[in-house]
Amino acid sequence: MAQLRFGRAATVTVVGVLAIAVLTGCVQGVPTPVPTYTPTASASATPEPEAGPILRPGNTAAANKQFFDAVNSAFYLAHGKSDGRSIIDNLVSVGFLKQDMEVTADSTSVGVAADSIVFSVRIKGECLVGQFTGAGYHGVIGKTIATGTCLIGTTRHIDW
């Protein structure tokens, strides 16, 4: 059988707690009333929703990153990797400007579904860049490239 070893301080503490417990049980007194809950008129039946991230038009990419990520994460959870048009339409529906967006193709040059879809929103010389893959969503902030765009390579023309 294993022996437990306590230091002197631990032993004194345990003995003290036991002594208080024994003495408390021996003292008779007036029972303490138990408080009851009484609802007030100002109590709300439903809690107020917490304010989430919001779009901050005219502000920086950094100020809008949390909103961008929240919108894209929720979209990914609901639709998976989806397609470029749906992703862009979703961003437009929450207030991002279509003329500031870019998106890569949904399929390769041989017609196979792309492993990932990359999309961006240009804001004040910076880019909110998102990527949907089979593994999930990831977003970053980057600088615009020399062409004034966010994504390198061929992107889809957004005309819808």
Q: Which residues sit opposite 22 in a β-bridge?
A: none
Q: What are phi and psi of 24, to 5 degrees?
A: -65, -35
E strands, 72-113, are 101-103
Element (DSSP H or E) covering residue 126:
strand 126-133
Task: Quote the mean pLDDT of the chain.
Answer: 81
Residue bearing the bigger pLDDT, 159 or 76: 76
Helices and strands (H, E) in the chain, number of each type: 3, 4
- The answer, yes or no, to whether residue 13 has pLDDT greater than 50, is no
* pLDDT > 90 fraction of the chain, expressed in percent and rounded: 65
pTM score above 0.85: no
Average pLDDT over residues 8-36: 47
Confidence of residue 7 (pLDDT cuts 50, 70, 90): low
Q: For residue 31, is pLDDT > 70? A: no
Residue 144, amino acid: T
Residue 51's φ and ψ, nearest 5 degrees, are -70, 130
Q: Report how far residue 111's alpha carbon sits from residue 149's, in angstroms, rounded to the nearest whole number.
A: 26
pLDDT at residue 56 above 80?
Answer: yes
Pick the range with the lowest mean pLDDT from 16-20, 61-65, 113-117, 139-143: 16-20
